[in-house]
Amino acid sequence: MKAAAMPGTLEWGKKLSAEEARAFTDNICAKMYARWEERIFQGSFMRDLEAGRLPLETIRLFWQHWYSYPLEINNFHLIIYQRHMAFFSRHRELLAPYVGKISDELVNPSVPGHIQVLIKQGEMFGASLDEMVNCRVFPECRALTEFARGLVYEGTMIEWWARSLNEEMFGHWSRKWRRALLDKYRFEDARLHYFQVHEEADLHEHEDGLMAHGQVARLVFQTMLQDGLVWSRPGWGPEYCCLTNADYVAMFHDGIYQHARESGHFS
């Protein structure tokens, strides 16, 4: 069967077929995978982590600054649930997967959900709750959160969901962290719950039928393409939002790495 041709330019109101929407999404995701590989997984921070060369003090520093990002993102998803409710009302088949994703973040493995394993993971790295909550996040790291915040309040629907395609990548990211901490830093698997939870939630069906979070984002994005809901601000657009989010993830890692070197963590 011949693959569907991917439209070169999206037009507001022009509905793509299911095959065209899938091809368009595959194309953006392929570029996203390449961007993550080049700028994050092959960046100095992750290469040193996987080689066991990243000082534990740098890992602790990372977690102090990381804490606020997932905390805020979960809040943004609650806002998006309210703001995009008309879309989900028209596509009831997507409502349960998205509500499942939100509830997963808030109640699994127990209330208050993933935030609790985030805190415990930081404490295992030596960061106190006070250090995480009150961290004056480096600008290079804060930018990732503020990019998402801007899309929530000023972006269009397609811009937000293009950004959300990155969610799958955090499952792969978590897998790399977990393997490095097991193999190179000799952490016990029981002490790496944050990475276990996110590898499973972002990449696989879990908790008796909850859809992988990355798959939820992909299905919502493709459905918007099929509905013709592709309006974006000049200079933005789906590909830009998807890849720029990856760039901000890279900036976060690079910022921690540079500050750690300047602070003498590598001496």
pLDDT 10s per residue in the chain (267 long)?
444 445 557 988 899 999 999 999 999 999 999 999 999 999 999 999 999 999 999 999 999 999 999 999 999 999 999 999 999 999 999 988 888 877 777 777 777 767 899 999 999 999 999 999 999 999 999 999 999 999 999 999 999 999 999 999 999 999 999 999 999 999 999 999 999 887 876 676 556 667 778 889 999 999 999 999 999 999 999 999 999 999 999 999 999 999 999 998 876
Query: Domain 52-262 has what CATH class?
Result: mainly alpha
- Number of Cβ atoms within 10 Å of the Cβ of 171: 19
Long-range contacts of residues 69-74, Cβ cutoff 8 Å, at least 24 apart: 69/141, 69/144, 69/145, 69/252, 70/114, 70/115, 70/118, 71/115, 71/118, 72/145, 72/148, 72/149, 73/145, 73/148, 74/102, 74/105, 74/106, 74/113, 74/114, 74/115
Q: 168: exposed, middle or buried (C-beta count within 10 Å: 0-12, 13-18, 19+)?
A: buried
Q: What predicted TM-score, i.e. pTM, was given to this entire model?
A: 0.92
Q: What pLDDT sits at residue 199?
A: 80
When computed from its CA atoms, the radius of gyration of the chain, rounded to whole angstroms, is 19
Cα–Cα distance for residue pair 28/118, rounded to 1 Å:
30
Strand partners, 206: 210
Cα–Cα distance for residue pair 166/168, rounded to 1 Å:
5
Q: How far is CA 43 from the centre of its chain?
A: 17
Cα–Cα distance for residue pair 22/40, rounded to 1 Å:
26
Q: What pLDDT sits at residue 235?
A: 95
User: Strand, helix or coil at 179?
Assistant: helix
Cα–Cα distance for residue pair 122/145, rounded to 1 Å:
19
Best CA proximity match to 252, nearest among 71, 115, 68: 68
